[in-house]
Structure 1
Amino acid sequence: MVERHVLGISGGKDSAALAVWMRDKHPELDIDYFFTDTGEELPEVYEFLGRLEGYLGKPIVRLNPRRDFRFWLREYNHFLPSPQTRWCTRMLKLRPFEEWIKPWLAAGDKVVSYVAIRADEDYREGYSAKAPNLIVRLPFREAGVDKPGVVDILESSGVGYPKYYEWRSRSGCTFCFFQQKIEWVRLKEHHPEAYEEAKELEKDALEHGSPFTWSKGESLWDMEKPERIVEIKAEYEIRRARLRRSIPINPLRPVKECPEDIDDVYGEDEGGGACVVCHK
């Protein structure tokens, strides 16, 4: 029996930090790092993967689904993915991973999968193993590594953060439905062509009877109106200021932030709960 070790990279800070941490803490392990590419990723994600590969000293395997986002959009009757129906995660992230490790599991190999759930994320659960020889490990939770710890790992290693953290907190697909409204506005500002593409996908979905828009209760067409953009930015700054005032100050451990640490600043009808396999 062969023992294999795998670690999924989402393009976000937590999984990158775990890859750095495992390389430094467990150099004896031959870990296969992988990234499941939906074909709809931000360009900043690819740049960050290259930087991370330089630190790890080995390539990050790209798992490309045999069928892309638009294929599955048609299969799901042009209905956009949503928190209630996360077909994008299932078909574009989980299935390629399962197909990748399937031959190993069938051969009787033991596969250990490392997932970047932190010690301060009691509410999160990792991938549920479907085979007895697939073992899911949560090293950060086991070692007590929390969010400030992740920041320390990335900064001390010199890897840093993906550039999209300057304006967005979500990794994964460009069109992630878990984005806050402020992040959709910033997508329009930083990647206007991607925003236009998302609008067309939304229009197509609505024309086919989809009950969902990308952002709950508001279309991207309405969201991009100048007066609405002003409102969204103002509402975000109010929520952000309120959150900062609510954070207790610990002089023994100052809170360190990413360049744009907005993943806890939710507005009405804007939730967290992003898929672990995409966001971490």
Structure 2
Amino acid sequence: MDINKKKTDQADKPVRHIIALSGGKDSSALAVYMRGKIKNVEYVFCDTGEELKETYEFIRKLQDYLCTDITWLKSERDFRYYVDLYNGVLPDARTRWCTRMLKLKPYEDFIGDDPVISYVGIRADEPHRKGYISTKPNITTVFPFVEDNIRRDDVMRILINSGLGLPQYYAWRSRSGCYMCFFQQKREWAGLLENHPDLFEKAKSYEKFDPATGERYTWIHGESLDELAHPDRITQIKLEYEKRKSREANAFKGNLKLKDIWDGDLDDSEELACTICHL
């Protein structure tokens, strides 16, 4: 193979501009914000197959707004396949195989070796988040919201002014991503139980207990979904949330416009949240 010719062929390829959408507020606002600013932009949505129906509805709504197709990417293997592959071990903050296999791999396969500028919706008020940064040399990641000092209030204004508003799941959930995301707070699991009991049961079916070894594979450390679903426990979770929300309101009452009440209740989970999943 002529290596020099291969390098020349790569250099001759046109640069692709891609915005990856999660179905969340920030990546959606970025798509609206960047509309008309870059030519031939591609929009992609990495579908794990385990998303909320509200997420799919919002992606279709966004597609109508953009008046262009959004490419739906999907892994050749589903979530159940990887659970079995990893011997029932569920993804967690240390491994995140769900992000790697169901989100990042399909995305990078879609890009291939083409030179790409990947636009990521990290905001200027999120210095703790890094977002999706590929190690592939052909992918350059940029952060328009950081460069233009776009913050949470600005994101909300972009979505409201566009007529899109927020995805419906924000009424009980703080993030986009799979319905069984291990980064969910307990009150969000409670919200899943109330809003999508069938999906709650499906998530519960992945949890395992080995009576011989005492090992438990649960989404929440130290608590199974079966235990969480007990009515007394749900009541307790809601009461704890209300107390924490009250503390947040009092702590930031002089600056509420700059403080999202959800953010104060994240238990650092937004710092750890999956990159491409929660943009």
TM (normalized to structure 2)? 0.89
Please tell me whether the aligned partners of residues 35 and 60 of structure 1 are also in contact (alpha carbons under 8 angstroms).
yes
Paired amino acid for 1:271: S
| 1:185/1:95 CA distance change after superposition, 3 Å | same
Single out whichever of 129-138 and 214-223 deviates more from structure 2: 129-138
**CA distance, structure 1, for counterparts of residue 213 and residue 189 of structure 2:** 23
**CA distance, structure 2, for counterparts of residue 32 and residue 210 of structure 1:** 45
Q: Name 1:90's counterpart in structure 2.
A: 100
**CA distance, structure 1, for counterparts of residue 185 and residue 98 of structure 2:** 18
- Counting only pairs closer than 5 Å after superposition, residues 106-145 of structure 1 correspond to structure 2 as 109-145=114-150
Question: Per-residue deviation at 1:234?
Answer: 0.1
Question: Per-residue deviation at 1:23?
Answer: 0.5
Single out whichever of 127-136 and 60-69 deviates more from structure 2: 127-136
The residue matched to 1:151 in structure 2 has which SS?
helix
Q: Name 2:262's counterpart in structure 1.
A: 262
Please tell me whether the aligned partners of residues 207 and 216 of structure 2 are also in contact (alpha carbons under 8 angstroms).
no
Please tell me whether the aligned partners of residues 206 and 213 of structure 1 are also in contact (alpha carbons under 8 angstroms).
no
Question: Per-residue deviation at 1:215?
Answer: 1.4
Q: Name 1:81's counterpart in structure 2.
A: 91
| Aligned: 1:233 with 2:258 | no
Which deviations, in whole Å up to 9, do the C-alpha atoms of 1:8-36 show, x marking residues without a partner?
00011000000000005x0x421110001
- Counting only pairs closer than 5 Å after superposition, residues 147-186 of structure 1 correspond to structure 2 as 147-186=152-191
Please tell me whether the aligned partners of residues 18 and 117 of structure 2 are also in contact (alpha carbons under 8 angstroms).
yes
Paired amino acid for 1:184: W
Q: Name 1:198's counterpart in structure 2.
A: 203
**CA distance, structure 2, for counterparts of residue 208 and residue 161 of structure 1:** 45
Question: Per-residue deviation at 1:132?
Answer: 2.5
Q: Name 2:276's counterpart in structure 1.
A: 277
Which deviations, in whole Å up to 9, do the C-alpha atoms of 1:195-214 show, x marking residues without a partner?
11111111378999765411
Question: Per-residue deviation at 1:139?
Answer: 0.5
Single out whichever of 132-141 and 178-187 deviates more from structure 2: 132-141
| 1:266/1:127 CA distance change after superposition, 3 Å | closer
Bigger Cα Rg = 2
Percent of matched pairs sharing the same residue: 48
Please tell me whether the aligned partners of residues 151 and 256 of structure 1 are also in contact (alpha carbons under 8 angstroms).
no
Which ranges of structure 1 fall in alignment gaps of 5 or more residues? none
The residue matched to 1:48 in structure 2 has which SS?
helix
Which deviations, in whole Å up to 9, do the C-alpha atoms of 1:67-96 show, x marking residues without a partner?
011111111111011111100000000000
The residue matched to 1:264 in structure 2 has which SS?
helix
Paired amino acid for 1:47: E
Paired amino acid for 1:12: G
| 1:181/1:188 CA distance change after superposition, 3 Å | same
Q: Name 1:242's counterpart in structure 2.
A: 247
The residue matched to 2:262 in structure 1 has which SS?
coil
| 1:203/1:263 CA distance change after superposition, 3 Å | farther
| Aligned: 1:52 with 2:62 | yes
**CA distance, structure 2, for counterparts of residue 31 and residue 115 of structure 1:** 13
TM (normalized to structure 1)? 0.89
Paired amino acid for 2:43: Y
| Aligned: 1:40 with 2:50 | yes
Single out whichever of 48-57 and 270-279 deviates more from structure 2: 270-279
Please tell me whether the aligned partners of residues 53 and 59 of structure 1 are also in contact (alpha carbons under 8 angstroms).
yes
Single out whichever of 176-185 and 201-210 deviates more from structure 2: 201-210
**CA distance, structure 2, for counterparts of residue 204 and residue 34 of structure 1:** 38
The residue matched to 1:249 in structure 2 has which SS?
coil
**CA distance, structure 2, for counterparts of residue 192 and residue 146 of structure 1:** 34
Q: Name 1:13's counterpart in structure 2.
A: 25
Paired amino acid for 1:8: A
